[in-house]
Amino acid sequence: MAGIKALISLSFGGAIGLMFLMLGCALPVYNAYWPLFLLFFYILSPIPYCISRRVVDDTDSASNACKELAIFLTTGIVVSAFGLPIIFARANVMAWGACALVLTGNIVIFATILGFFLVFGSNDDFSWQQW
Protein backbone atom coordinates (compact mmCIF):
# COMPACT_ATOMS: atom_id res chain seq x y z
CA MET A 1 0.00 0.00 0.00
CA ALA A 2 2.96 2.32 0.59
CA GLY A 3 3.98 1.94 -3.04
CA ILE A 4 0.56 3.03 -4.25
CA LYS A 5 0.64 6.13 -2.03
CA ALA A 6 4.11 6.99 -3.31
CA LEU A 7 3.00 6.53 -6.92
CA ILE A 8 -0.04 8.76 -6.40
CA SER A 9 2.00 11.48 -4.72
CA LEU A 10 4.64 11.34 -7.47
CA SER A 11 1.97 11.67 -10.16
CA PHE A 12 0.47 14.60 -8.27
CA GLY A 13 3.91 16.26 -8.15
CA GLY A 14 4.38 15.75 -11.87
CA ALA A 15 0.97 17.25 -12.59
CA ILE A 16 1.74 20.30 -10.44
CA GLY A 17 5.09 20.79 -12.19
CA LEU A 18 3.52 20.55 -15.64
CA MET A 19 0.82 22.98 -14.52
CA PHE A 20 3.49 25.56 -13.67
CA LEU A 21 5.14 24.97 -17.06
CA MET A 22 1.84 25.42 -18.89
CA LEU A 23 1.00 28.53 -16.88
CA GLY A 24 4.34 30.01 -17.87
CA CYS A 25 3.47 29.37 -21.51
CA ALA A 26 -0.25 29.88 -21.86
CA LEU A 27 -1.23 32.80 -19.64
CA PRO A 28 -2.44 35.65 -21.84
CA VAL A 29 0.11 38.00 -20.29
CA TYR A 30 3.04 35.81 -21.44
CA ASN A 31 1.69 33.92 -24.50
CA ALA A 32 5.03 32.39 -25.52
CA TYR A 33 5.32 28.65 -26.01
CA TRP A 34 9.11 28.40 -26.25
CA PRO A 35 9.43 26.90 -22.73
CA LEU A 36 7.72 23.74 -23.97
CA PHE A 37 11.15 22.71 -25.26
CA LEU A 38 11.85 21.79 -21.64
CA LEU A 39 9.71 18.69 -22.11
CA PHE A 40 12.67 17.21 -24.01
CA PHE A 41 14.87 17.76 -20.96
CA TYR A 42 12.29 16.10 -18.70
CA ILE A 43 12.28 13.05 -20.98
CA LEU A 44 16.07 12.94 -21.41
CA SER A 45 17.10 13.45 -17.78
CA PRO A 46 16.52 9.91 -16.41
CA ILE A 47 17.81 8.09 -19.49
CA PRO A 48 21.59 8.09 -18.72
CA TYR A 49 21.04 6.82 -15.19
CA CYS A 50 18.63 4.10 -16.32
CA ILE A 51 21.11 2.91 -18.96
CA SER A 52 23.98 2.85 -16.45
CA ARG A 53 21.90 0.83 -13.98
CA ARG A 54 21.30 -1.79 -16.65
CA VAL A 55 24.92 -1.92 -17.78
CA VAL A 56 26.75 -1.76 -14.44
CA ASP A 57 27.03 -4.68 -12.08
CA ASP A 58 26.28 -3.20 -8.65
CA THR A 59 28.08 -5.86 -6.60
CA ASP A 60 31.12 -3.83 -5.55
CA SER A 61 30.77 -0.76 -3.38
CA ALA A 62 33.35 1.29 -5.25
CA SER A 63 32.25 3.90 -7.73
CA ASN A 64 32.74 3.14 -11.40
CA ALA A 65 33.18 5.24 -14.52
CA CYS A 66 29.88 4.32 -16.17
CA LYS A 67 27.79 5.42 -13.20
CA GLU A 68 29.84 8.60 -12.79
CA LEU A 69 29.39 9.44 -16.48
CA ALA A 70 25.65 8.89 -16.20
CA ILE A 71 25.43 11.21 -13.19
CA PHE A 72 27.53 13.80 -15.05
CA LEU A 73 25.28 13.67 -18.14
CA THR A 74 22.14 13.84 -16.00
CA THR A 75 23.53 16.86 -14.18
CA GLY A 76 24.29 18.54 -17.50
CA ILE A 77 20.73 17.95 -18.70
CA VAL A 78 19.23 19.31 -15.48
CA VAL A 79 21.46 22.41 -15.49
CA SER A 80 20.55 23.02 -19.14
CA ALA A 81 16.87 22.79 -18.26
CA PHE A 82 17.32 25.48 -15.64
CA GLY A 83 19.48 27.63 -17.92
CA LEU A 84 17.24 27.64 -20.99
CA PRO A 85 14.38 29.70 -19.48
CA ILE A 86 16.87 32.20 -18.08
CA ILE A 87 18.46 32.58 -21.52
CA PHE A 88 15.00 33.01 -23.06
CA ALA A 89 14.16 35.71 -20.52
CA ARG A 90 17.48 37.53 -21.07
CA ALA A 91 16.91 37.48 -24.83
CA ASN A 92 13.38 38.91 -24.33
CA VAL A 93 11.82 35.84 -25.91
CA MET A 94 9.70 35.36 -22.80
CA ALA A 95 8.83 37.50 -19.79
CA TRP A 96 10.57 37.17 -16.43
CA GLY A 97 7.29 36.18 -14.76
CA ALA A 98 6.96 33.29 -17.18
CA CYS A 99 10.59 32.40 -16.43
CA ALA A 100 9.78 32.24 -12.71
CA LEU A 101 6.81 29.97 -13.35
CA VAL A 102 8.85 27.69 -15.60
CA LEU A 103 11.71 27.49 -13.08
CA THR A 104 9.20 26.59 -10.35
CA GLY A 105 7.87 23.86 -12.61
CA ASN A 106 11.44 22.66 -13.19
CA ILE A 107 12.05 22.36 -9.45
CA VAL A 108 8.85 20.40 -8.91
CA ILE A 109 9.31 18.05 -11.88
CA PHE A 110 12.97 17.28 -11.20
CA ALA A 111 12.13 16.69 -7.52
CA THR A 112 9.45 14.28 -8.72
CA ILE A 113 11.93 12.45 -10.95
CA LEU A 114 14.40 12.25 -8.06
CA GLY A 115 11.63 11.01 -5.77
CA PHE A 116 10.75 8.30 -8.27
CA PHE A 117 14.31 6.98 -8.26
CA LEU A 118 14.53 7.17 -4.48
CA VAL A 119 11.24 5.33 -3.95
CA PHE A 120 11.33 2.78 -6.76
CA GLY A 121 15.05 2.60 -7.50
CA SER A 122 16.10 0.07 -4.87
CA ASN A 123 16.22 -3.63 -5.68
CA ASP A 124 13.87 -4.78 -2.95
CA ASP A 125 10.65 -6.72 -3.19
CA PHE A 126 8.68 -3.71 -4.47
CA SER A 127 10.63 -2.13 -7.28
CA TRP A 128 9.82 -0.17 -10.41
CA GLN A 129 11.48 -2.93 -12.44
CA GLN A 130 8.57 -5.22 -11.59
CA TRP A 131 6.11 -2.86 -13.30
Residue type, 7: L
DSSP labels, 83-123:
HHHHHHHHTTSS-HHHHHHHHHHHHHHHHHHHHHHHHH-S-
pLDDT for 109 beyond 80: yes
Name 94's Cβ contacts closer than 8 Å, sequence gap at least 6: 24, 30, 32, 34, 35, 85, 88, 102
Burial of 46 (0-12, 13-18, 19+ CB in 10 A): middle
> Where in the chain are the domains?
1-122
pLDDT in tens, 1-33: 667 888 888 999 999 999 999 999 998 898 889
